[in-house]
Chains A and B, each alone.
Chain A
Amino acid sequence: MSTPAKQALDHGCPPWLIASALLTIAPHFEHQPLWLSAFSAALLVWATWLWHQDQRLPGRWPMIALVGLACSGIFVEYRTLFGRDAGVGMLVIFMAMKLLELRSRRDANIITILGYFLLLTHYLYSQSIPTGLWLIAALWIVTAAQIRVNGGPLCRIRETLRYAAMICLQGIPFMLVLFVLFPRISGPLWGLPEDAHAGRTGLSDSMTPGSIASLAQSAEIAFRVRFADPLPATAKLYWRGPVLDNFDGRAWRSSAGAIPRETLTFDSAPIRYETTLEANNQRWLLALDAPSTLPPDSSLDGRLTAQGRLPITQRQRVQLASSLDYRLNVEESPKILHQNLALPARFNPQARSLAASWRAETQTPQAIIDKALELFASERFAYTLEPPLLGENSIDEFLFQTRRGFCEHYAAAFVVLMRAAGIPARVVGGYLGGEQNPLDGYWVIRQSDAHAWAEVWLEGRGWRRIDPTAVVAPARVDSGISDALPAGEPLPALVQMRGTWLRNLRHRWEALNNAWNQQILGYDPQRQRELLAKLGLPDSDWRSMATMLGGLGTLLMASMLAWTLYQHPKHDPATRLWHTALRHLARRQVHCAPGETPLALLRRIEKTDPKLAQQLNRVVECYLLTRYGDAGDALNPLRDAVAQLTRWR
């Protein structure tokens, strides 16, 4: 098939299109299978080589074979050709393959339009700031490619880029209006149901020795908190996750079965705060001990763990309030107390005999607790992120041989000792502390702040928090994990930084990310209502928003048009009058060809429509005299002639 010369693509176009293709598909390489990335990269290199060597593009049959190969590859990989991953994979490969079919301007336009569409698909995977910046750059280049393709070889690189940037910038007001006013639906704009099944790191509902220590090596952010009320200076921030009260000798789990509702008494004023949870596929809300006000659709589970109705599969904001001083279940059901005394019979004989000896020596539960804490306080116990592996009788081995452990070792050992001594006790998982970003005031709680502590039930007091880690490594509770661990522990570099400029930089970056999450990604129907109310539009429904959208859009278009018209007073009056005449001719289906001079136009019309030519003659004469002559101003005669032409029927 030959391409008409008018539609042919000049040699300067392919580099633009290859660059557009590269920019739009490259970020997908991160999450795509390696063969797919390699395949599309190879196609890109091939297309570049063909262009550079000025070689013929592959014919129809090789292309059909390639399409078949790509589709079957995708099918084998994903077992389907539809859905997010398979669909995006197909688009990426087809984008790269289209570069081997660059024959006409039509092919190039397909590439740019597919490029715009591929830009959107990136938001299905990531909505972070770097992604946004990358996509803006890609948008710029794709637009420039489109300008270059349709503008022809006369477009210079710098001009093309400048023009594309200008077009993108002109889109910003429209983008803002759409962002603010477009009716929002609850739920994420870009979320797909598949997201729920993605693996997430985070606190789990079971605990084995070493599980929290490995979690603590991640600097990923678990959640952010902003306090609405001032925080007492001495407050210990225990963010409560699952209560683990069932021990099978190795792992701690939450026991199943019905739990009666808790009775809570608060001894201090509630502190209000807003938590932004990152997706963790769990239901707990990680409220501060103990929650007094919960968001709708959530409840306490009887063990003081606040839980939502559904697992958190995307970033979610919840409003909470907690009182730091509280009494929990002063009257506890005997069944629950019994559950919290259970120990598997075969394991940890040494620990149990130690506890039995304490029970024989002392009378009050408090004395037993003190004995256990004294034991941990002895210098033989060390706090470390890399505890030795433990065997079958893990508590015995830890207490009497290795004596090196992370918070879960101490909490577990403590609870076993308490239960063996006849005091109801359980392990609580969650996070401790966090770090306040001085820039935006948000508290950032990372996976490295994961923690486990113990709760014991005392007659007349209810459940009381005992943190054995506080005895072993007081700094962990007082100032954070990086102070509590000796140097050389495998704590993430992000968490270790203390008082350096890097730390400052990290604060800035996280504050920026948080603002992005809160203001841009977290712009939901509620925020939209709040913002519109602030702008003086209370109770706006989608109809009024659509009206406003239309109105503002029209206003923007009109102001841009006005600006454009204002920008072009460069045409002198003679040219404007001539353009009026040309418009009049266009209404009579007479058009001035490119590069056609007024005189040539007149001669052409003389042949087809002598009467019109007669009318036009005077206009052309006056126009040429004003524009090219030196006989002075013939503007008024020109004006008269044009007026006469436009009146003439």
Chain B
Amino acid sequence: MMLIDCPHCGPRNENEFSYGGEAHVAYPENPAELTDKEWSRYLFYRGNKKGIFAERWVHAGGCRKWFNALRDTVSYEFLAVYGAGEAQPQIDTLQGGTR
């Protein structure tokens, strides 16, 4: 069992959460002007980083709110959670991990 810190509800079991893929993927300014290749890049291409990765999560079994998290994809450790729309925290300034 892994606990995930929901920004609204505090630490909860991982089975209450759903994964939403990479965070900070900006919607194109003018989607109509994109070529098919650029559009497919926006729709389907995501990072697959080994290490610290910014991701979207939703607390589906709780407050039903989306938030962002920094997670180490090697150890599964959640290093930070922050609100949707907020800038990614600088990980080297954080005081240690959570769990």
- On whether the two chains bind one another, the answer is no
Q: Give B contacts to A, CB under 8 Å.
A: none
Instruction: List residues of A whose CB falls within 8 A of some B CB.
Output: none
